[in-house]
Amino acid sequence: MAPADAHDVAVTGSDGRTDGAGQPSPDQETRAARAVRGAFAATLCLEALTVLFVPRAIAQVGAGLTPARLAFLLGLAGALLVTAFLQRSRVGLAVGSALQFGIVATGLLTGAMYVLGAVFALIWVYLLWMRRELTRRSRPLPPG
């Protein structure tokens, strides 16, 4: 039996099943899409948790906790959690991408959030790239 080349390994899942034409089975595509959606949702939940710690930080050392700042932070955390549940749709992905700017903007309240916001934004960009790679692999290859 000849060794598989890199392409065969990429389109054959861990269980070795393909659709007969060298493409991943629909079950594998579903699992890959579900995994990426789960990673997006988990990232948004972690961002919401991080944002919920910001009021404590700005109350002690930052610019002070005003009702407007608290409302912004709670609203952002709520939007992040709602968007985590919307990851099954394209709207959830677009809103999650837009909310990354809000995460970075919390750096205006406390400087450490610039760093954390940048880290979360880089993770989000990496997940977008990963999603693109997985969907590109699941498309049929041109003949030849």
Query: Could you read off the pLDDT of 29-38 as tens digits, one per residue?
Result: 677 788 889 9
Decide which of 58 and 81 is more confident: 81
The pLDDT score that the predictor gives to residue 59 is: 80
User: Given this model, what pLDDT does residue 64 score?
Assistant: 79
**CA neighbours within 13 Å on the CB side: how many for 94?**
3
9-34: average pLDDT: 58
From CA 74, how far away is CA 48, in angstroms rounded? 9
pLDDT at 60: 79
Give residue 27's pLDDT.
65
Helices (H), the chain: 6-11, 26-60, 67-85, 90-105, 112-138
Average pLDDT over the chain, rounded to an integer: 81
Give the pLDDT confidence of 36-75 residue by residue, as tens digits: 899 999 999 999 999 999 888 888 776 678 899 999 999 9
pTM of the model: 0.75
Task: Encode pLDDT of 109-127 as tens digits.
Answer: 888 899 999 999 999 999 9
pLDDT of 12: 46
Would you state the pLDDT for residue 9? 43
